[in-house]
Structure 1
Amino acid sequence: MRYALLILLFLVPGLARAQAEALENPGAVSAIQERRYRMHHELLLGVGVLPDDAFYKGLTGNVSYTYHFSDTFGWQVGRGTYSYNLQTSLRTQLERDFDVAPVSSASEDQVQWMVGSDLVWSPLYGKTAFLNSTVLHFEAFLLGGGTVVKLNRSGGFRPAANVGLGLRLFSSQAISFRFDVTNNVVFTGASRINNVLSVQLGTAFNFGATE
């Protein structure tokens, strides 16, 4: 008991000081640093792939223009994609070994090109240290909009709804790099729906913005 009383006598003054300091400074003040890079007029040039069809893969060239109203909201006014299609080994084997082609399959509707427009929401912006020597600035965004898809077999145009997400890595105020993954839900008629997955990597040129 004697030792316990001695410990309490030493602890009580320290606890009293801590309580007094807490009363004098009841809350901590934090500040959020302003983002270093801002977007305004964005021109994107990119390449990509349409990877999810079993009978063909598309190698794509992409271009788009985006107007950024604020740090978090923008309008991808126009985007265009051209696809150079290569048949897969599965289709080659079917035609060579079994003398059949999947002409009745929905996968025969190969994408030739697409044009569309999207709204862009960028809720996340941050920076991180790379190898403790370089600071990388980045943002993540979501997008959604509409697309007109040109298919080769039907020879016609089909409407689609586009949704996706992306990541932007800033190199400077004028140049950044974008990685986009989107999915176009294509309404091909006769109650059929095709999904066209697109993976794209591009260089974005930013005009008219200030740091």
Structure 2
Amino acid sequence: MKTSKIISLLILAAAFSWTNVSFAASNKTANKNLNVTEDIDSLGGNEELMEMAQNIKSETRSRVVQERLVPRRNRVEFGLSYGGVIGGDSYLRTQSAGLSVDYHINPRWSVGARYYDYANNLTSEGQRVFDQAAAAKAAGTQGYAVDIDYPKNAMMAVANWYPIYGKTSFLDMGVTQFDLYLLAGGGQITLSSGTTGLVTAGVGVAAWISKHLSARAEFRYQTYKDNPVTGSRQLDTGVGTLGLGWIL
């Protein structure tokens, strides 16, 4: 009987101890959860963090525009070009070699002067007509004039506007800056019959190989009146050129 009482007291003591340990652990967990909750709740009281969170908008887009590789303000550029003429007199095939100088007022605008020297060859149709006229003359029959008024050279003043520029990777060898530009101008063209007025407008692209050297491709529309034997006529032509520029 005495032994049974001692065993009962030991079991009761063990149960009491386990209850105290569980209660302490529960309090510790509750306190930890309470501290985490308080930390989270305290974020709402931090005005700086709340301001930053409110200013972040998922629909906002950021745009970074880097400066141009080649600064073009109050700078002079010289150029060489070579190209061909599309349209005009169907009897002629005309090519041009050109010199240019441009003064860059700022990165958007420049003004300049162009000079072109023309080389002319007969097309297959022109050669056929010329050969017929020469044969008729040699036979002593009534000949006729070949209706050709070919260009010799031209000079003009132009204004250039550069609305678009960007950068691209060229054959994985490096990054190249390019400019797209529009141009318009006028001047005079010297033909075999004399000198007449010329108006031009076009578009071009310049790719900067270095801070001084650029490669250029340009296409221009130009119109003028020639004066062949049969009378004056309006010629509308296209001129495509490739060239190099050197900016000081």
Q: For the superposition of Structure 1 and Structure 2, which TM-score range results when normalised by the shorter chain?
A: 0.7 to 0.9
Specify whether residues 191 and 101 from structure 1 end up closer, same or farther in structure 2 by C-alpha distance, changes over 3 A only.
closer
Q: Which has the higher contact order (CA 8 A, sep 6+)?
A: 1
Equivalent residue pairs, number: 182
Q: Is the helix fraction higher in 1 or 2?
A: 2
Question: Which residue of structure 1 aligns with residue 239 of structure 2?
Answer: 198
Structure 2 partner of 1:71: 107
Among 127, 149, 168, the alignment partner of 2:206 is 168
Give 1:22 deviation, angstroms.
7.7
Change (3 A) 1:22 1:194: farther
Deviation, structure 1 residue 37? 1.4
Which of the two has higher C-alpha Rg? 2
Q: 2:180 aligns with which of 117, 125, 140?
A: 140
Matched-pair contact (CA < 8 Å) for 2:80–2:100: yes
Share of identical aligned residues, percent? 24
Give the letter aligned to residue 139 of structure 1: D
1:24 aligns with 2:55: yes
Cα 1:196/1:69, change in 2 over 3 Å: same
1:22 to 1:96, Cα distance in 2 relative to 1, 3 A: farther
User: Structure 2 regions of 5+ residues with no counterpart?
Assistant: 1-50, 137-142
Q: CA offset at residue 118 of structure 1?
A: 0.5
Give 1 or 2: higher strand fraction. 1
Instruction: Indicate the SS of the match to 1:51.
Output: strand
Match of 2:77 among 42, 45, 56: 42
1:187–1:54 CA distance, 2 compared to 1 (3 A): closer
Of residues 171, 179, 182, the one that matches 2:217 is 179
TM-score normalized with structure 2 length: 0.66
Shift of 1:29: 3.2
Q: Structure 1: where are the runs of 5+ without partners?
A: 1-19
Structure 1 position 122 matched with structure 2 position 130? no
2:56 counterpart letter in structure 1:
N
Amino acid corresponding to residue 29 of structure 1 in structure 2? S
